[in-house]
Structure 1
Amino acid sequence: MLEARLAAECEAVMKQSSASFYEAFRLLSSPRKEAVFVIYTFCRMIDDSVDEPEIAFYTLEELEERFETLETAEGHFIWPALRWLLASFPLGKEPFRTQMGGQRMDRVRTRYRTMEELEDYCYRVAGSVGEMLLPVLHEQPDVKITEAGTWLGKGMQIVNILRDVGEDQQLGRRYLPLELLERCGYSVEEFRDGRVNEAFRLVAAELSALAREWFKRGLQGLHTYPADSAFSIRLAAAYYAAILDAVHANGCDVFTKRAFVDDEGRKSLLRSVLLEMAAAERAPHGGEKPSIRAEMALHESEKSGGRAEVWPGLRPGHGLSDESRPEEPPQRLAL
């Protein structure tokens, strides 16, 4: 098992930065739970090194250097935690290298031309997270299960791109591919002006449909996961689908409004996933029912008003997403 002190450090990072994902993944059994905490923490550090270098503990280059010499890396609790992670699960270094490479793209690229280019970016900063998590969450992840994990991560990234259009536009970034804008009859000039019209709603609808299709692919084979892993994954997907719903409830105005789900919506999602997983138990292929810990989480959520954040890196310009730094708090995601 991971040393208690290291586990507590990583858990604290996830709990503080991502309330909704912490609520889902803390229900995992050990050592899976601790492994997710470690992965999250390192992804957060990668994310911060690019997004907020002024407060980051390491630069991206320093993280890469120490990661490549992990056996001797010291100076931060993440290094012994990562050594434990890689020794305890059939997980290699390549997904982490992919993640860091994807984060580097945000330094030099602020425009995308084709959907293919965007999908490649989504894989690097989000699909790679699926590759990190699969050996932890699944006992025998085959090629199909691994592919599903990358699809789910990429779908989540599409949601973040759509949700954060306005914020990234203010930073001079356009993650919406030019070919998509042209296909929907929406001009770059309209994008720069932040216009929400029927053409832009077509853009949003196409991205939403793509994200939902990738979610569908990502959840294939869910019944083959251990029960707690399946619950955590399904709950995470439900959070992201709710963000899409909120975008469209706002009339697709992602330039001046920030999509969010209120506390009651968060509780409703938790209830819905519990019922869905219980129904899956009775399905012909028979997935397992989530453990009593999942049901306890519903009771605990009634007492907490925790703001939901999303995984670091899953956000344009930041890799995995983080809603923890709102400029306009009422518009922030609060699952």
Structure 2
Amino acid sequence: MVGLALAEWERPLVERAWAAMSQSVSHLERIADGHRLRWAYKACERIIRQHSRTFYWASALLPAPKRQATRALYAFCRVADDIVDDPQGDPSAELARWRRIALEEPPPEDEPIALAWTDVRIRYRIPKRYAEQLLDTLSQDLQRARYETFEELAGYCYGVASTVGLMSMHIIGFSDPMIVPYAVRLGVALQLTNVLRDVGEDWQRGRLYLPLEELQAFGLSEEDIEVGRVDGRWRNFMAFQIARVRHLYEEALPGVMGLNPDGRLAIAAAAELYRGILEDIERHDFDVFRRRAHLSRVTMLIRLPRIWWRVRTGFYARRAK
């Protein structure tokens, strides 16, 4: 696989990924009986079906065991994310409790999501450190609500999204460790797409994930975000952000070809369909304050044959040369 030329902001993120990969993995062989594990995986299925159409349909393209494992990983991440975004009590205490339960070996048998996730982590030999990096970053959300530079924001994106991609990579399977930088970059691209889509929702939660120095460079302030002002400055700012994220997708997608063949289509579909959210933002005049950008189910189904063709013909690998 062709090595990926790294930008300065990416180097420390890739180093974190390599360091985590070198950590030991669990040596447990079994954590629960088959009946209890089936119950646990069904709980994960319900969570992804409820919360993410894009990843639900993309994961449906995987073979059954990997589909089940990927949905358990999503559920593990979703529980942690919901604790931070919609806490039912003290979020710090809740997140600490979830960390203990989800990383305990074996986990409590009455915690289905933790049970399924731990089974996946053991079965696919996923380094625990990736899960720890994810939870560490989410805990920062409880104290930090602003990012001054793009480099700082990229570090956050690594923690909440690239780590998920790196864990998924172990589930899908890969033959070349040079895929790691591609997974890091794709995770950043996916999370930046979230950032641009969710500006209005995040503001309501008291958070602003747009780089402050870039807002200032385009003549924007937090007051503009508060009132949801869509003018020439905002359109130029968003066009700049979208162009950068598209470039990240373009350079990350060749990494799909380093995955096991039975998982390439699912990951390419997840990336391509998520990238489509950027088009929807543009179609609606960059207004991310009054609506949530998305692709319809029909649009996603229409796009799948082209994505299949790109995987089948090695399109992404050719783009890397």
TM-score interval, normalised by the smaller of the two chains: 0.7 to 0.9
Q: Given the alignment of the two structures, is residue 255 of structure 1 paired with residue 268 of structure 2, yes or no? A: no
Unaligned stretches of 5+ residues in structure 1: 286-335
Residue 142 of structure 2 aligns to a residue whose secondary structure is helix
Q: 1:140–1:52: structure 2 CA closer, same or farther, 3 Å change rule?
A: same
Task: Measure, in 1, the Cα distance between the counterparts of 2:149 and 2:48.
Answer: 34
Q: Given the alignment of the two structures, is residue 79 of structure 1 paired with residue 118 of structure 2, yes or no? A: no
Q: 1:258–1:208: structure 2 CA closer, same or farther, 3 Å change rule?
A: same
Among 196, 200, 203, the residue aligned to 2:237? 203
Corresponding residue for 1:168? 202
Among 178, 186, 189, the residue aligned to 1:152? 186
Residue 53 of structure 1 aligns to a residue whose secondary structure is coil
Q: 1:56–1:280: structure 2 CA closer, same or farther, 3 Å change rule?
A: farther
Corresponding residue for 1:118? 153
Task: Measure, in 1, the Cα distance between the counterparts of 2:309 and 2:104.
Answer: 46
Among 58, 63, 81, the residue aligned to 1:24? 58
Give CA deviations for 1:146-180 in whole Å, capped at 9, x if unaligned. Answer: 22112111101111111111222233321111111
| 1:164 maps to amino acid | D
Cα distance, 1:56 vs structure 2: 11
Task: Measure, in 1, the Cα distance between the counterparts of 2:74 and 2:255.
Answer: 23
Corresponding residue for 1:232? 266
What pairs up with 1:254-273 in 2 under 5 angstroms? 254-273=288-307
Corresponding residue for 2:137? 102
Task: Measure, in 2, the Cα distance between the counterparts of 1:127 and 1:95.
Answer: 9
Corresponding residue for 2:11? none
Give CA deviations for 1:58-100 in whole Å, capped at 9, x if unaligned. Answer: 9211111223433253321233323322221121111111111
Cα distance, 1:137 vs structure 2: 1.2
Corresponding residue for 1:63? 98
> TM (normalized to structure 1)?
0.77
Per mean C-alpha deviation after superposition, the further-off stretch among 205-214 and 70-79 is: 70-79
Cα distance, 1:34 vs structure 2: 2.0
In the alignment of these two chains, the number of paired residues is: 284
Residue 173 of structure 1 aligns to a residue whose secondary structure is coil
Aligned residues of 1:163 and 1:258 also touching (Cα < 8 A): yes
Task: Measure, in 2, the Cα distance between the counterparts of 1:163 and 1:80.
Answer: 32
Aligned residues of 1:48 and 1:56 also touching (Cα < 8 A): no
Task: Measure, in 2, the Cα distance between the counterparts of 1:257 and 1:73.
Answer: 40
Q: 1:83–1:187: structure 2 CA closer, same or farther, 3 Å change rule?
A: closer
Corresponding residue for 1:275? 309
Q: 1:197–1:273: structure 2 CA closer, same or farther, 3 Å change rule?
A: same
Task: Measure, in 2, the Cα distance between the counterparts of 1:235 and 1:56.
Answer: 37
Q: Which has the higher contact order (CA 8 A, sep 6+)?
A: 1
Q: 1:195–1:77: structure 2 CA closer, same or farther, 3 Å change rule?
A: same
Corresponding residue for 2:6? none
| 1:185 maps to amino acid | G
Give CA deviations for 1:193-252 in whole Å, capped at 9, x if unaligned. Answer: 321122111211121122112212321232232233110111111111110001011111
RMSD of equivalent CA atoms: 2.6
Unaligned stretches of 5+ residues in structure 2: 1-29
Task: Measure, in 2, the Cα distance between the counterparts of 1:164 and 1:257.
Answer: 9
Aligned residues of 2:175 and 2:260 also touching (Cα < 8 A): no
Aligned residues of 1:46 and 1:103 also touching (Cα < 8 A): yes
Aligned residues of 1:134 and 1:141 also touching (Cα < 8 A): no
Residue 254 of structure 2 aligns to a residue whose secondary structure is coil
> TM (normalized to structure 2)?
0.80
Give CA deviations for 1:249-277 in whole Å, capped at 9, x if unaligned. Answer: 11111122322223332222223212323
